[in-house]
Amino acid sequence: MEFMEDIHFRNFNPVCQLGGFFSIDAGEDWSLGREKFAQNKFYYIKSGRCELVIEGKKYEGVPGRWFYIPAGVSHYYNNDKTAPFSKYWMHFDLYPNTVNFFTMLNLPYYIDITDNAVEKKVDDVFNEFSKAIYGNKIQDKLREKTCLIELFDTYITLANQTKEQISLTKQNARLMKNVTKYIEDNIEKNLSIKDLSDFCHLHPNYFIRTFKEKTGLTPAKYMRTFKLETAKRLLEETDLSVIEIMNRVGFDDAAHFSKLFKSYFGASPKNWRKHVSTMIKYFYKNN
């Protein structure tokens, strides 16, 4: 899975938008009509009961049950108003935003925490997060992100997702590695699905389905991700002009390249290079 880690996790960046601890008394309402959110969600039920409907399937929310609702998934919920209700919650983004981590890691919509030591650990991290997100210091922002990464890692661990479980079979791993190497070696080209499926000696439809199943991305998104990440590295490590870099990674429209780069990294190529240069100068000045 080494090549997958390079593509998917080199720039892994979870960003929390909202979150904290929520509690209401008996008779009060916590409910939502059917919605799809742009952010991922964590709901960790601490007391009371609720019902969540995710992609049309009902799930009971009970104390110790931790839900993960991926971005874009249809869901709605309501609490049992006969008793007090409380939960920890988070809305967060996962970047690169072209990657469906939920599918790639084969995660469930919920896990149950039954071990007391694990429960304390999760409670402590959620509690730290709930304090940090309302802080204004740089340490609060760093702790907020650290807590989110720790919780994401804990959820994966508790869902019994091991490296072996999400790795490819030896045969498919070799095939996918060869395909990605072919993409890397031809980064300046706009390879078609036919080019890639012919390289693998597979039917195009079967190739697309297999590639997405094993990498979490369509071939087109994989190629775009690699091209943009390579452009980012060249901006940071070389003095090549933006146009030269654009051509090296196979783009021929400057406006389109800049728009894609900004949607992926949050800044235009020119501003990204300026930001990195400023950070480097700041580092050497203060060290």
| Confidence at residue 108, expressed as pLDDT on a 0 to 100 scale | 87
| Confidence at residue 32, expressed as pLDDT on a 0 to 100 scale | 85
| Confidence at residue 96, expressed as pLDDT on a 0 to 100 scale | 72
pLDDT reading at 236 higher than 70:
yes
pLDDT reading at 129 higher than 80:
yes
| Confidence at residue 2, expressed as pLDDT on a 0 to 100 scale | 45
pLDDT reading at 272 higher than 70:
yes
23-55 pLDDT, tens per residue? Answer: 999 999 998 888 888 889 999 999 999 999 998
pLDDT reading at 3 higher than 70:
no
| Confidence at residue 167, expressed as pLDDT on a 0 to 100 scale | 45
| Confidence at residue 279, expressed as pLDDT on a 0 to 100 scale | 66
| Confidence at residue 241, expressed as pLDDT on a 0 to 100 scale | 94
Amino acid identity at 218: T
pLDDT reading at 141 higher than 60:
yes
276-286 pLDDT, tens per residue? Answer: 777 655 555 55
More confident residue, 22 or 6: 22
Which helix (H) or strand (E) is 41 found in, with range? strand 40-47
pLDDT reading at 5 higher than 70:
no
Angstrom distance (rounded) from CA 39 to CA 20: 15
Least confident of 51-60, 162-171, 181-190, 275-284: 162-171
Instruction: Tell me what the mean pLDDT of segment 59-72 comes to.
Output: 92
Instruction: Tell me what the mean pLDDT of segment 115-134 comes to.
Output: 91
Q: 166: pLDDT confidence band, cut at 50, 70 and 90? A: very low
DSSP string, 258-274: HHHHHHHHSS-HHHHHH
More confident residue, 4 or 178: 178
| Confidence at residue 99, expressed as pLDDT on a 0 to 100 scale | 58
Q: 210: pLDDT confidence band, cut at 50, 70 and 90? A: confident
Angstrom distance (rounded) from CA 39 to CA 95: 11
**What domains does the chain contain, in order, with CATH numbers?**
2-164 (2.60.120.280), 183-285 (1.10.10.60)
| Confidence at residue 87, expressed as pLDDT on a 0 to 100 scale | 96
User: Which of 118, 107, 131, 102 is closest to 216 using CA atoms?
Assistant: 102
pLDDT reading at 4 higher than 60:
no
DSSP string, 58-125: EEEE-TTEEEEE-TT--EEEEE-TTS-EEEEEEEEEEESTT--HHHHTT--SEEE---HHHHHHHHHH
82-103 pLDDT, tens per residue? Answer: 999 999 999 988 877 655 677 7
Buried b (16+ CB within 10 A) or exposed e, 11-26: beebebeebbeeeeee
Q: 161: pLDDT confidence band, cut at 50, 70 and 90? A: very low
pLDDT reading at 206 higher than 90:
no
Q: What is the mean pLDDT of the chain?
A: 84
Model confidence pTM above 0.85: no
